[in-house]
Structure 1
């Protein structure tokens, strides 16, 4: 069964995107960058999950949540199990650029090294692993053309 996940493409007033720096709890040399977000809890909506996860992971609560940009299914090993996810990526904007990790879960505290605001140019030239893997191009298109009229379905990613 696919885990329902909401992710946030959070942009600041300078069009920088906030990414989290994650790593495998048992092997900190396996690291990557990803957008804030996580699984739905109880009967909450995708929008509610996006805002809750963003607040828990980053402390950022002053956001304008926009439309769903992308849908993606993915499957990856993490913390000793396989995660199969149905992810929705929401556009959001904020002027609140200071972050804190006080609301992170125990697993997040064991697997997140922090966060960073990235410019589109930095994202396009990094050699670090970023998920979704096409994020640099997707962000550039978003900044150049605005949000799509309907969510774009991204190719599945299986790691």
Structure 2
């Protein structure tokens, strides 16, 4: 796991992150559930991923984070090209994080999630993972940021496009 910045109140941290949205055959996306340690009464759903380590490619960071946060293994080539990038600014632990997030979609099977690779701060602020449809998360209203369900829909389209066989030449 790439180090989570030390929570120093008032501090602003800028970082590049790689995010992975695993999509199952039913069109559901695996999300994590947790909270900001400064606001534990307001839990939310968020994507798998984290900071890029020195010398690491975006895809390598994405598969490392996927394994550390869920126990799922994937090859960086299986991610394909990123389907989106987003600048996301939010409060966490009393500081401000400003992240440039690059998103990958990964066709995946529904699988049991393991938190064994998480850092202690992640274990302390994450209590679950589950497969969601964008519509169900919209209805639930607990997305970690407003564009999350849009990114989920993009990931579903991206994996469907990669799994749909091409039309043969005649």
- TM-score normalised by length of structure 1: 0.81
RMSD between aligned residues: 2.0
Quote the residue 2:4 is aligned against: none
Normalised by the length of structure 2, the TM-score is: 0.76
| Deviates further, 26-35 or 41-50 | 26-35
Give the structure 2 partner of residue 23 of structure 1: 35
Count of equivalent residues: 145
Counterpart check, 1:101 vs 2:115:
yes
Aligned partner of 1:50 among 46, 56, 62: 62
2:41 alignment partner, SS class: strand
What is the rounded CA distance, in whole Å, between the counterparts of 2:138 and 2:92 in structure 1? 26
Larger strand share, 1 or 2: 1
Which of 27, 36, 43 in structure 1 is aligned with 2:48?
Answer: 36
Q: Does 1:78 pair with 2:92?
A: yes
Could you list the runs of 5+ residues in structure 1 that have no partner in the other structure? Answer: 148-159
Q: Which runs of 5+ in 2 are unaligned?
A: 1-12, 160-170
Deviation at 1:44, TM superposition (A): 0.5
Superposed CA deviations along residues 13-35 of structure 1, whole A, max 9, x for unmatched, are: 22210010011224321211111
